[in-house]
Amino acid sequence: MSSTHPDIDSKVQKALEGTKFQVSKLEKITGGSVNWIYKAELTIEIESLKILSPVSSFGNQPNDTHNFVVRTPKFYHFDQDSSTQPQCHELGKALGSWLRNFVAWSAQQVKHRDLVAQNEFGQAVRHMLNYAWLHERTKEYPGILNDVEDILTQVEQLAASEKENTDELQIIHGDFWTGNVVLPDAAIKEGTKIPVFVVDWEMTQLGLPSVDFGEMITEMYALWLYKSIDAGLWMMEGFIEGYGHISEEFAFRTAIHVGTHLVCVTTDFPAWGRENYERVVAAGKDIIVHAWKKDREWFEEGDLACLFRSEN
């Protein structure tokens, strides 16, 4: 990580100089594989900061029983240079619908695309975490991964070539997972609007939509794999349903990303429980291999069957 880690702290502080958000102190908030979120003490106190107006908002479908409204929070400064199955399913569905609308929006952007294209560091980090680390995980779990090392190498090479094919890329969030979705700290009641915010856009980059789609699927699925939390499956199924129609090719590419995220990224998060890592690495391996071989029948008999139902 050190080879791709510039002095972010000083750059953030310098970028805010001369603005009303100039800081006297920055304290980095720790946690996660990718995190550049800071607690800041401002040089001049601002009377109030309220996140009330969204940059974008995509509402839910009229027949949804729980009215989730997913938004991005309002920018204040921009440097020009308890779960039930219906609730969980509808939350996942709302997030999937929001992501699909975001994908449609980002595909039409020109000016924003040129700006986001400058975040080559974010691309490098995303590739490292999900694909370059496959080699490291093979050394850590040789008994599980050695027999598919050739496939893992080809997967990493595929991802590297995709990253260079910039004409096929568009703006993505870059770190679209459950930890970057903020819900109100209150009971969710049927028939009321529930604001949901998608936050932490520092990894925004040019990439394939399957990266955001696959990462969120993985993190929801991980709740089930690591902790046997049914809500993870319910949210995952709703998320895939909300995203809507996808091609079989997109489904397989998403599944590859799900597998690499399980193998490489979730095993870098101690809170999941190290005693579970080998079992989840084996599950991720199976997903990668069967997706690489385009074995649809295998998927249709497992937890990710909903990924292939959505492409009909």
Residue 141: which of 265, 266, 267, 32 has the closest Cα? 267
pLDDT digits (tens, 9 = 90+) for 152-190: 999 999 999 999 999 999 999 999 999 999 988 877 777
Tell me what the mean pLDDT of segment 93-107 comes to: 96
Give the pLDDT confidence of 109-136 residue by residue, as tens digits: 998 999 999 999 999 999 999 999 999 9
Give me the number of domains the chain comprises: 2
CB-CB contact of 161 with 299 (8 Å): no
- Asked whether residue 6 falls in the same domain as residue 82, the answer is no
pLDDT band at residue 53 under the 50/70/90 scheme: very low
Percent of the chain with pLDDT over 70: 81
Same domain, 23 and 69: no
What sign has the CA pseudo-torsion 43, 44, 50, 55?
Answer: negative
Mean pLDDT, all residues of the chain: 85
- Which residue did the predictor score with more confidence, 45 or 163? 163
Alpha helices in 261-295 (DSSP H): 277-292
Is 22 inside a domain boundary?
A: yes
Model pTM score: 0.78
Q: Which domain holds residue 11?
A: 2-42
Indicate if 295 and 216 belong to the same structural domain.
yes
- pLDDT surpasses 90 at 46: no
- Helix/strand/coil for 287: helix
Give yes or no: residues 12 and 134 share one domain: no
Residues 199 and 288 in one domain: yes
Q: What is the CATH number of the domain that holds 280?
A: 3.90.1200.10
Q: What does the pLDDT average to over 82-108?
A: 90
Residues 159, 201, single domain; the answer is yes
